[in-house]
């Protein structure tokens, strides 16, 4: 059994994977802020004994959620772990945590991703974008080129050319990130909640916000797809993932496939490429 971890800006997903079938057996999510709070305590020159207590507490959470039992100090519950982390404050903590639970820990990077990054400045490429891209090539490699959108805290767009090389992409504020900024900075909008709009023409301030945020984001995605297709001179396969997809799915006019677990399956593929069996 392999442990995979997707540490995003908002939530962290832990999952247990059966590598014989490459299927997720069990998973759970936690608020990133909760782990970061504990991470701060561990990294702020705390005595090793305190750090171990905090790590054992998190090991117990993982054991309860993924293995249906308590954690016994010193035992290894998984054979290996693969981690994608975009929050620098969490990287060390997650590596410590996984090291207590597994025999080997792989933090996703340009060397172990297996991607062809010869056309990109790989030092600036996030582990989440690598994992998304790996999964897209694995699932849709016969339909290159590919555009991959991940609609999360940030909206990322990754482009893979007809030869399977990573070309680059786009990073924009995520749908809810943009909405929260608008609501925060407009004093009379404090009580509004973003929902799917009934019409693009809003009949109230609430409806106008919904239309602007949701249709605005969907039109941005459609526009990016058109521009990328034009630049490459061909129609790309479009894959969309991420927590905000549901809000804009019915507003996107372009043809696409939805893969809710794309990043996690990218981590599984990276585990397989690195002979984690």
Instruction: Write out the catalytic residue numbers.
Output: 128
CB 35 within 8 A of CB 28: no
Helix axes of 88-101 and 32-43: crossing angle, nearest 10 degrees: 80
Residues counted in the chain:
277
State the Cα–Cα distance between residues 257 and 245, nearest whole angstrom: 11
CB 51 within 8 A of CB 42: yes
Q: Six-digit token pair at 132?
A: 């998304």
The closest of 242, 241, 238, 243 to 256, measured between CA atoms, is 238
CA angle in degrees (0–180, nearest 5) for 215-172-81:
115
What are the residues facing 84 on neighbouring strands? 6
DSSP string, 83-122: EEE--HHHHHHHHHHHHHHEEEEEE--TTTS--B-TTS-G
Helix axes of 48-62 and 88-101: crossing angle, nearest 10 degrees: 70
Torsion 161-7-2-22 (CA) sign = negative
């Amino acid at each position: 059994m392999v442990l995979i971890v997707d540490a995003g800006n908002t939530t962290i997903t832990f999952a247990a994977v059966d590598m014989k079938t490459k299927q997720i057996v069990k998973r759970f999510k936690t608020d990133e802020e909760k782990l970061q709070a504990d991470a701060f305590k561990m990294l702020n020159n705390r005595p090793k004994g305190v750090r171990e207590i905090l790590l054992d507490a998190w090991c117990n959470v993982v054991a309860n959620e993924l293995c249906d039992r308590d954690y016994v100090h010193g035992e290894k519950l998984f054979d290996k772990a693969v981690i994608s982390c975009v929050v620098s404050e969490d990287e060390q903590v997650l590596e410590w945590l996984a090291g207590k639970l597994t025999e080997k820990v792989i933090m996703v990077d340009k060397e172990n991703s297996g991607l062809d990054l010869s056309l990109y400045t790989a030092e600036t490429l996030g582990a989440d974008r690598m994992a998304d891209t790996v999964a897209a090539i694995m699932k849709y490699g016969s339909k290159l080129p590919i555009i991959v959108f991940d609609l999360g805290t940030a909206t990322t767009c990754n482009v893979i050319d007809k030869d399977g090389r990573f070309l680059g992409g786009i990073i924009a504020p995520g749908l809810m990130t943009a909405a929260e900024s608008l609501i925060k900075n407009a004093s009379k909008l404090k009580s509004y909640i973003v929902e799917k709009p009934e019409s693009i023409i809003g009949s109230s301030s609430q409806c106008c916000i919904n239309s602007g945020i949701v249709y605005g984001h969907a039109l941005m995605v459609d526009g990016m797809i058109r521009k990328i297709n034009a630049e490459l001179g061909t129609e790309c396969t479009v894959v969309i993932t991420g927590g905000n997809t549901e809000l804009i799915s019915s507003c996107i006019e372009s043809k696409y496939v939805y893969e809710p677990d794309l990043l996690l399956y990218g981590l599984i593929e990276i585990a397989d490429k690195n002979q984690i069996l």
